[in-house]
């Protein structure tokens, strides 16, 4: 029996695409380079700032101080963290349905704490989620199972009674290693549906509300 659902954040609960893309494009433009389109940066978002820099700067990345570029992206993003970010369609309804069934909810994201907590404060639908484990909460992040096991412990549930929902290969890998039921959020920033299905999650869902049928 499922007692808790733990969610990834970017690309699963929240569509943070435009704010992260704006941070990348700000950095590109400050270096005299053209901005990249949403179609280019969206698939890279779940893989972090380095992946964004790679799709933005391409072969010229090696000509720059990558750490300074990373800091530029993070600084701009931190100052403009929730200009466009919002819950994906169906997330509010899913969270309400879980609450009405007494199912506990948590967040486990590789996003660092200094970005995660201010962002959550800006999203009304997520303010009530008390268990939040970030990429720097422990000494390991996903695909290690340790943060998921920590989240389950904070929720006071057995990992085998948890769903973990995410939109990246490392999410599914971490869930399996933690002995949780894995769910791919196909509505998120997956590279493609074909690639996402190759991760062999327990469930592959095209919209958030469809998870309720599996509780």
> Could you give the residue numbers annotated as active site?
8, 10
CA 184/CA 196 separation, integer angstroms: 7
Question: In which element (H, E) is residue 163 found?
Answer: strand 162-166
174 burial class (0-12, 13-18, 19+ CB within 10 angstroms)? buried
Determine contact, residues 94/212, Cβ cutoff 8 Å.
yes
Per the rule left: phi > 0, alpha: psi between -120 and 50, beta: everything else, 96 is alpha
Alpha carbons within 13 A on the beta-carbon side of 1: 6
Question: Can you tell me whether residue 139 is helix, strand or coil?
Answer: coil
């Amino acid at each position: 029996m499922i007692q808790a659902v733990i969610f990834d954040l970017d690309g699963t609960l929240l569509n943070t695409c435009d704010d992260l893309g704006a941070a990348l494009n700000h950095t590109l433009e400050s270096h005299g380079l053209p901005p990249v389109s949403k179609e280019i940066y969206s698939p890279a978002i779940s893989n972090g700032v380095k992946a964004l820099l790679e799709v933005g700067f391409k072969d010229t990345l090696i000509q720059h101080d990558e750490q300074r570029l990373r800091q530029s992206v993070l600084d701009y993003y931190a100052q403009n963290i929730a200009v466009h970010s919002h819950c994906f369609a169906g997330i509010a309804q899913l969270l309400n349905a879980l609450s009405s069934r007494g199912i506990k909810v948590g967040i486990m994201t590789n996003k660092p704490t200094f970005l995660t907590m201010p962002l959550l404060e800006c999203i009304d639908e997520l303010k009530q989620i008390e268990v939040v484990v970030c990429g720097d909460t422990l000494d390991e992040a996903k695909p290690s199972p340790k943060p998921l096991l920590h989240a389950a412990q904070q929720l006071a549930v057995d990992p085998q009674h948890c769903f973990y929902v995410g939109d990246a290969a490392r999410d599914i890998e971490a869930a399996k290693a933690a002995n949780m039921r894995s769910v791919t959020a196909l509505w998120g920033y997956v590279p493609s549906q074909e690639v996402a299905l190759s991760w062999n999650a327990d469930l592959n869902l095209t919209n958030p509300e469809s998870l309720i049928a599996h509780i």
